[in-house]
Structure 1
Amino acid sequence: MTIPSNAVTTAAPPEQAEPAAARAGRPRLLAGSPRLEFVLRRLRRAAISFAVVLVASFFMVQLVPGDPVRAALGPTAPLSTVNALRQQLGLDQSLWAQFTHYVTALLHGDLGTSITSQRPVSQILGERLPTTLLLAVISFLVAVVGAFPIGVATAVSARSGRRRFLDLGLSGLLGVLIAIPNFLLAVLLIATLGVGLPLFPPAGWGTPSQAVLPVLALAIGPLAYLARIVHIEMLRVLDAPYLTTARSKRLPGRLLYLRHALPNIVTAALTAGGVVLVGLVAGTVLVETVFTVPGIGSTIVSSITAKDYPLIQGIVLVYALLVLGANLVIDFAIAILDPRSTIAEA
Structure 2
Amino acid sequence: MAIQTSHPWAAYLGRRLMRFLLSLALLVTATFGMVHVIPGDPVRAALGVTASPELIAARTAELGLDLPIWEQYGRYVTGLFTGELGQSMVSGLPVAQTIADRLPYTALLALVAFAVVMVTAVPVGMALAAWTRGGRRRGLELVFTGVSGLLAVVPEFLLAVALIVVFAVTLELLPVADVTGAMGPEHYVLPALALAAGPAAALARIVRVEGLGVLSSDYLRTARAKRLPARLIHLRHALPNLLTGALTIGGLLISGLIAGSVLVENVFAWPGLGDALVEAIKAKDYPVVQGVVLIYGGAVLLVNLAVDVALGKLDPRSTIRED
Amino acid at match of 1:97: E
- Residue 37 of structure 2 aligns to a residue whose secondary structure is coil
- 1:41 maps to which residue? 15
Amino acid at match of 2:101: E
Counterpart pick for 1:162 among 123, 136, 139: 136
Aligned in 2, Cα 1:201/1:64: closer, same or farther, shift over 3 Å? farther
For residues 43-102 of structure 1, what are the alpha-carbon distances to aligned partners after superposition, in whole Å with 9 as ceiling and x for unaligned?
111111111111122213433345332244343332112111111211123333322321
Q: Decide whether the 8 Å contact of 1:72 with 1:115 is kept in 2.
A: yes
8 Å CA contact retained: 2:126, 2:208 = yes
Using the TM superposition, give the Cα deviation of residue 31 of structure 1 relative to its aligned residue in structure 2, in angstroms.
6.5
Distance in 2 between residues matched to 1:159 and 1:303, nearest whole Å? 51
Alpha carbons of structure 1 residues 343 and 267: separation in structure 2 relative to 1, 3 Å: farther
Q: Report the counterpart of residue 195 of structure 1 in structure 2.
A: 169
Aligned in 2, Cα 1:167/1:252: closer, same or farther, shift over 3 Å? Answer: same
Amino acid at match of 1:44: M
Instruction: Please say if 1:123 is aligned against 2:97.
Output: yes
CA contact (8 A) 1:229 1:272 kept: no
Amino acid of the structure 2 residue aligned with 1:311: V
Which of residues 293, 308, 312 in structure 2 aligns to 1:331?
308
Matched, 1:316 2:293: yes
Cα gap change, 1:156/1:345 in structure 2, threshold over 3 Å: closer, same or farther? farther
Residues 120-154 of structure 1 deviation map (CA, whole Å, 9 limit, x = unaligned): 11111111101100000000001110111110111
CA distance in 2, matches of 1:255, 1:340: 29
- In the other structure, the counterpart of 2:28 is 54
What is residue 154 of structure 2 aligned with on the other side? 180
Sequence identity of aligned pairs in percent? 51
**What TM-score results when the alignment is normalised by the length of structure 1?**
0.86
Q: What is the correspondence of 1:98-247 to structure 2 with a 5 Å cutoff?
A: 98-204=72-178, 206-247=183-224
Contact 1:68 1:115 in 2 (8 A): no
Structure 2 counterpart of 1:183, which letter?
A: F
Structure 2 match to 1:25: none
TM-score between both structures, scaled by the size of structure 2 = 0.92
How many pairs does the alignment contain?
317
Report the more deviating stretch, 229-238 or 267-276: 267-276
RMSD across aligned positions (CA): 1.9
> Partners in 2 of 1:222 and 1:338 — Cα distance?
24
CA distance in 1, matches of 2:322, 2:250: 20
- Could you tell me how far apart the structure 2 residues matched to 1:319 and 1:98 are? 22
Letter in 2 for 1:334: L
SS at match of 1:62: helix
Note the 1:59-98 alignment, pairs <5 A.
59-98=33-72
In 2: Cα distance, 1:112 partner to 1:155 partner: 52
5+ residue gaps, structure 2, are none
Q: For 2:238, give the aligned amino acid.
A: A
Question: What is the rounded CA distance, in whole Å, between the counterparts of 1:266 and 1:38 in structure 2?
Answer: 23
Query: Residue deviations 1:175-229, cap 9 Å, x none?
Result: 0000100000001011111111111113435122222111111111111111111
* C-alpha displacement of 1:280: 0.3
Q: Who wins on radius of gyration, i.e. which is larger?
A: 1
Give the conservation status (yes or no) of the 8 Å contact 1:180–1:221: yes
Q: CA deviation at 1:233?
A: 0.5
1:162 positional shift: 1.0
